[in-house]
Amino acid sequence: MPAQPSPLAVPPPPPSARSSAPGPRVPATTGPAVLLVTGFVLLSLNTRVVFGQLGPLAPVAGFGTGSLTLLGLLPPLCMGLFAPLAVTVRRRLGEERGLFWASALLLAGAVLRVLGLPGLFIGTVLVGIATAVVNVLIPVFVRSRFAPRRTGVMTGVYALSMGAGSALVAASMVPVWESSGHSWRTAVALAIVPAALAAAGIAPQLRHAGGEVGPEPVRVRVLGGRDKGLAWSLIGYFGLQTLLFYTTLAWLPAILVEAGVAEATAGAMQSLFILGVAAGGFLTPVLAAARTDQRRHLLAVLLLCGLGYAGLLAAPATLPAVWALVLGAGLGGGQAVVGVLYVKRGRDQDHVAALSTVAQTGGYLIAATGPVAASVLHTVTGTWAVPLLVFLGVLLLSGAASLRAGRG
């Protein structure tokens, strides 16, 4: 009997639909589905690992405030500036090759980060560039390589794996720092392992990469005409949600330590926060993808975030684990659901790529201001209460910005 295709994968197009011209491409899924899913999970596990390392180390490793602020600024700044690079990468290499070489660059950045403070900065920049490419290509990869009914599940798997990998490494930071004689380089070196696994995991998909492409990219204009409102809504929602995510990721341990939480406990709360990110990042897109209209899911995200910030403001040292988990679930859901919005609102793979590119370019540039602005507010006011109140205001703005993108 002939082999049956995997229900996860997109079947190959009929011969009449195949073309070497640029544009939507659905590769034949002749390889085992297990390799596809395994590679996707390993890539996802690695995508945010390095960004969650310094939060737990910040209270104990002796990094200066200026260094921590800059290291919090670099990831979203690089991801915003270099998101348009993914368009060129996709045209010249395709999604599979693009993801592989981005993984290789991320591995190089992870290695550089252990070579002292200059290497930490340079490596973070390389990781930010690589992640910018991965961020844009992943929604296109999901749409082209998985069946439409699996969009929400695979977007959720991406977010869950991303959060789980980051949480596992973040939870290891302080124990490794202590066991290595207080060496932050040894702790940071843990990121090399998932980076190497990600590159190895996605490598088998290189055989599915498309053949020749046309000389010109398919250009989809989304900042004008009928797509203008949708594009700006995505930029505003994603930018403000990402600003809150990276600012919280950078400063949550410091907020808790100032409130009287022990340094080791504050580092553990960072890991709980990332676990919440993983849980919310999985559930929200799975639920949202089953609906045509996602506004109720966006509202649920805002309510969870609001509860978490209110808890940190009112009783940070009383129930820090609850606030960390709730806030993580809200911010994780807000980060992940936007992937569903790209796929649901996109007419084809090129349109998905265009929406993803403009939203992440503008969104990450907005987000880059968050860690610095929070640090300045804290320095000027001498308390984290004022930044937390501002975060609640940003939540309201993100809710207003999301209405167009969430409407089916």
Rounded to whole angstroms, the Cα distance separating 316 from 312 reads 4
Q: In the predicted model, is pLDDT for residue 107 greater than 90?
A: yes
Residues 355-402 pLDDT 10s? 888 888 888 889 888 888 998 999 999 999 999 999 999 999 999 998
- Whole-Å CA distances, 155 to 95, 134, 244, 404: 16, 13, 21, 21
- Whole-Å CA distances, 355 to 87, 147, 216, 233, 281: 11, 20, 19, 11, 20
pTM score, whole prediction = 0.74
Mean residue pLDDT across the chain = 83
Amino acid at 254: A
Q: Per-residue b/e over 174-213, b at no fewer than 16 CB within 10 Å?
A: bebbeeeeeebbebbbbbbebbbbbbebbbbbeebbbeeb
Q: H/E/C letters for each residue in the chain?
A: CCCCCCCCECCCCCHHHCCCCCCCCCCCCCCCHHHHHHHHHHHHHHCCCHHHCHHHHCCCCCCCHHHHHHHHHHHHHHHHHHCCHHHHHHHHHHHHHHHHHHHHHHHHHHHHCCCHHHHHHHHHHHHHHHHHHHHHHHHHHHHHHECHHHHHHHHHHHHHHHHHHHHHHHHHHHHHHHHCCCCHHHHHHHHHHHHHHHHHHHHHHHHHCCCCCCCCCCCCCCCCHHHHHHHHHHHHHHHHHHHHHHHHHHHHHHHHHHCCCCHHHHHHHHHHHHHHHHHHHHHHHHHHHCCCCCHHHHHHHHHHHHHHHHHHHHCCCCCHHHHHHHHHHHHHHHHHHHHHHHHHHCCCHHHHHHHHHHHHHHHHHHHCHHHHHHHHHHHHHCCCHHHHHHHHHHHHHHHHHHHHHHCC
| Average pLDDT for 78-98 | 88
Q: Which two tokens stand for residue 50?
A: 């390095």
Confidence band for 131, pLDDT divided at 50, 70 and 90? very high
Tell me the percentage of the chain whose pLDDT exceeds 90: 33
Q: In the predicted model, is pLDDT for residue 74 greater than 90?
A: no
**pLDDT score recorded for residue 8:** 47
Confidence band for 84, pLDDT divided at 50, 70 and 90? confident
Q: In the predicted model, is pLDDT for residue 333 greater than 50?
A: yes
Q: In the predicted model, is pLDDT for residue 7 greater than 50?
A: no
